[in-house]
Amino acid sequence: MRLLLLLFFLSLFYSCETNEVEYAIVVHGGAGTILKKNMSDEMENAYIQKMEEAINAGYNILEKNGSSIDAVEATIKILENSELFNAGKGSVLSNAGIVEMDASIMRGDNLNAGAISGVTKIKNPISAARLVMEKSEHVFLSGKGAESFAKYENLEIVENEYFITQRRLNSLRNAKKRDSLTDNKFGTVGCVALDSDGNITSGTSTGGMTNKKWNRIGDVPIIGAGTYANNKTCGISSTGWGEYFIRNVVAYDISSQMEYNNSSIQSASKKTLKKVKDLGGSGGVVGLDSKGNITMDFNTEGMYRGYKKSNGDFKIKIYK
Amino acid sequence: MRLLLLLFFLSLFYSCETNEVEYAIVVHGGAGTILKKNMSDEMENAYIQKMEEAINAGYNILEKNGSSIDAVEATIKILENSELFNAGKGSVLSNAGIVEMDASIMRGDNLNAGAISGVTKIKNPISAARLVMEKSEHVFLSGKGAESFAKYENLEIVENEYFITQRRLNSLRNAKKRDSLTDNKFGTVGCVALDSDGNITSGTSTGGMTNKKWNRIGDVPIIGAGTYANNKTCGISSTGWGEYFIRNVVAYDISSQMEYNNSSIQSASKKTLKKVKDLGGSGGVVGLDSKGNITMDFNTEGMYRGYKKSNGDFKIKIYK
Name the amino acid, one letter, at A296. M
Nearest to A296 by CA among A254, A243, A249, A233: A254
pLDDT at B81: 98
Contact B107, B113 (CB under 8 A): yes
- Residue A11 forms part of a structural domain: no
- Residue A39 forms part of a structural domain: yes
- According to DSSP, residue B12 is labeled H
Beta strands at B101-107 and A314-319: parallel, antiparallel or unpaired = unpaired
Q: Which residues of chain A have pLDDT under 70?
A: 1-19, 180-185
Name residues 145-204 of chain A within 8 A of B (Cβ).
145-146, 148-149, 181
Give the range of the structural domain holding residue A57, as residue numbers without chain letter.
20-319
pLDDT at B16: 46
pLDDT at A34: 86
Query: Which of B238, B246, B258, B278 best probes binding to A when mutated, by most A CB atoms within 10 angstroms?
Result: B246
User: CA of A152 to nearest chain B CA: how many angstroms apart?
Assistant: 11
pLDDT at A17: 46
Name the amino acid, one letter, at B280. G
- Residue A123 forms part of a structural domain: yes
Q: Looking at residue A55, which CATH number applies to its domain? A: 3.60.20.30
Contact B283, B306 (CB under 8 A): no
Contact between A215 and B144 using a beta-carbon 8 Å cutoff: yes
Query: Which of B140, B248, B272 best probes binding to A when mutated, by most A CB atoms within 10 angstroms?
Result: B140
* Contact partners, residue A137, CB within 8 Å, separation at least 6: B181, B243
Contact between B248 and A146 using a beta-carbon 8 Å cutoff: no
State in Å, rounded, how far the first CA of chain A is from the last one: 44
Query: Which of A249, A261, A262, A279 best probes binding to B when mutated, by most B CB atoms within 10 angstroms?
Result: A249
Tens digit of pLDDT for each residue in A179-224?
A: 766 555 677 999 999 999 999 999 999 999 889 999 999 999 999 9
Half-sphere exposure of B196 (CA within 13 A, CB side): 11
Count the Cβ atoms, other than its own, within 10 Å of residue B301: 18
User: Which residues of B fall within a CB distance of 8 Å from A228?
Assistant: 249
Beta strands at A113-119 and A140-142: parallel, antiparallel or unpaired = parallel
CA separation, residue A179 to residues A167, A173, B113, B138 (Å): 18, 10, 23, 15
- Residue A7 forms part of a structural domain: no
Nearest to B206 by CA among B235, B233, B186: B186
Contact A128, A155 (CB under 8 A): yes
Total residues found in chain A within this entry: 320
**Alpha-carbon span A208 to A181, nearest angstrom:** 11
Indicate the average pLDDT of chain B. 93
The partner residue sitting opposite A217, judged by closest CB among B140, B148, B218, is B140
**Alpha-carbon span B209 to B277, nearest angstrom:** 19
- According to DSSP, residue B97 is labeled S
A270 CA to centre of own chain: 17
User: Which residues of A fall within a CB distance of 8 Å from B142?
Assistant: 117-118, 142-143, 215-217
pLDDT at B85: 95
Q: What are phi and psi of A293, to 5 degrees?
A: -70, 135
Sign of the CA dihedral B245, B249, B252, B255?
Answer: negative
- The tally of domains found in chain A comes to 1
- Residue A89 forms part of a structural domain: yes
Per-residue pLDDT of chain B (320 residues; tens, 9 = 90+): 566 666 555 555 554 445 689 999 999 999 988 888 889 999 999 999 999 999 999 999 999 999 999 999 999 999 999 999 999 999 999 999 999 999 999 999 999 999 999 999 999 999 999 999 999 999 999 999 999 999 999 999 999 999 999 999 998 998 888 876 655 567 799 999 999 999 999 999 999 989 999 999 999 999 999 999 999 999 999 999 999 999 999 999 999 999 999 999 999 999 999 999 999 999 999 999 999 999 999 999 999 999 999 999 999 999 98
Which residues are bridge partners to B235 per DSSP?
A: B229, B288
Give me the catalytic one of B33, B75, B182, B188. Answer: B188
pLDDT at B5: 62
User: Which residues of B fall within a CB distance of 8 Å from A223?
Assistant: 222, 225, 246-247, 249
The partner residue sitting opposite B113, judged by closest CB among A136, A212, A246, is A246
- Residue B14 forms part of a structural domain: no
- Residue A142 forms part of a structural domain: yes
**Alpha-carbon span B274 to A300, nearest angstrom:** 39
Contact B269, A273 (CB under 8 A): no
- Residue A139 forms part of a structural domain: yes
A6 CA to centre of own chain: 44
pLDDT at B118: 97
